[in-house]
Structure 1
Amino acid sequence: MASTSVSRTVPAPPEQVWALIGGFDSLPDWLPYITGSVALEGGRVRRLTNPDGEIIVERLVAFDEAGRHYSYAILDAPFPVTGYVSTLRVHAVAGRDDVAEVQWSGRFTPDGVTDDEVVDLFAGIYRDGLEALHKTLSA
């Protein structure tokens, strides 16, 4: 099993960041890689569309409103992995009420590729996503 984690400080209080990203169906609001999201099964599953029209289906596996984090598993996606589980988390920054740290991490088993290849793939997705979040919150 491989894993990766990316963190980024963003220019907004944790409560504001969580209000934007904490909804399981909210990825299109801040992540350009996801152009559409349809909530299924009472909001516990999301059917995502990327700019190429590819479909990604994910299931919410844990949600903590007070702790400002959720975890999800990929059910179907065009990625070379199995057993993918990821967590998106918003942290307060000690001594600062005007910024937050966002951490996006995942663990997965490569399927037909090396650990390094999938770690690079998801680290890039997470890094680009957190950069997009930073831009959204800076606007």
Structure 2
Amino acid sequence: MATASASLRLPVAADTVWQLVGGFLALPDWLPFIASSETAEGGRLRKLTTVDGAVIVERLETFDNQARMYSYSITEGPFPVTDYLATLKVEAAGDSETLVTWSGRFTPDGVSDAEAQALFQGVYEGGLEALKGNFPSA
């Protein structure tokens, strides 16, 4: 089992950040490489289409609005991993500062642990950098 994780501090209230990222279908609202997100199974599945046309299907595993976090698995996608489980968490780090953490664990399939880790480390870091761009004061 391999893991990857990235964190970002933002000078914005946690509730404001969660308002943007907390919806399971909200990825296109803040992540530029996701062109669309369609729902299935009453909102438990999201079918993501990237800007280059790749399709990723993810299942919502846990959702806690009060704790501002959710976890999801990938059921279909172009990634060389199995048993993927990721968590996006938004935590207050003071009155007007937020810590956002995006992390995952997975089993590499046909690639080394280091290659799979580098892939998702890049996804998480790039995603959080894109998130930062939604808050001009950051």
Contact preservation (8 Å) 1:11, 1:138: no
Residues in 2 aligned to 1:115 and 1:10: alpha-carbon distance in whole angstroms: 30
- Output the CA distance in 1 between the equivalents of 2:10 and 2:133: 9
Corresponding residue SS for 1:12: coil
- Alignment correspondent of 1:32: 32
Q: In the TM superposition, what is the alpha-carbon distance from 1:11 to its structure 2 partner? A: 2.9
Q: What is the rounded CA distance, in whole Å, between the counterparts of 1:90 and 1:114 in structure 2?
A: 30
Asked if 1:82 corresponds to 2:82, the answer is yes
TM-score, normalised via structure 1 length: 0.96
Q: Which residue of 1 aligns with 2:2?
A: 2
Q: For structure 1, list consecutive stretches of 5 or more residues without a partner in the other structure.
A: none
What TM-score do the two structures reach when normalised by structure 2?
A: 0.97
Secondary structure in 1 aligned to 2:24?
Answer: coil
Aligned-residue Cα RMSD (Å) equals: 0.9
CA-CA distance at 1:98 after TM superposition? 1.7
Q: Unpaired runs of 5+ in structure 2?
A: none
CA distance in 2, matches of 1:33, 1:105: 18
Count of residue correspondences: 137
The answer for the alignment partner of 2:99 in structure 1 is 101
Residue of structure 2 in register with 1:21 after alignment: 21
Shift, 1:51, TM fit: 1.1
Letter in 2 for 1:123: Q
For residues 24-77 of structure 1, what are the alpha-carbon distances to aligned partners after superposition, in whole Å with 9 as ceiling and x for unaligned? Answer: 000000001211000111111000000110100000000011110000000000
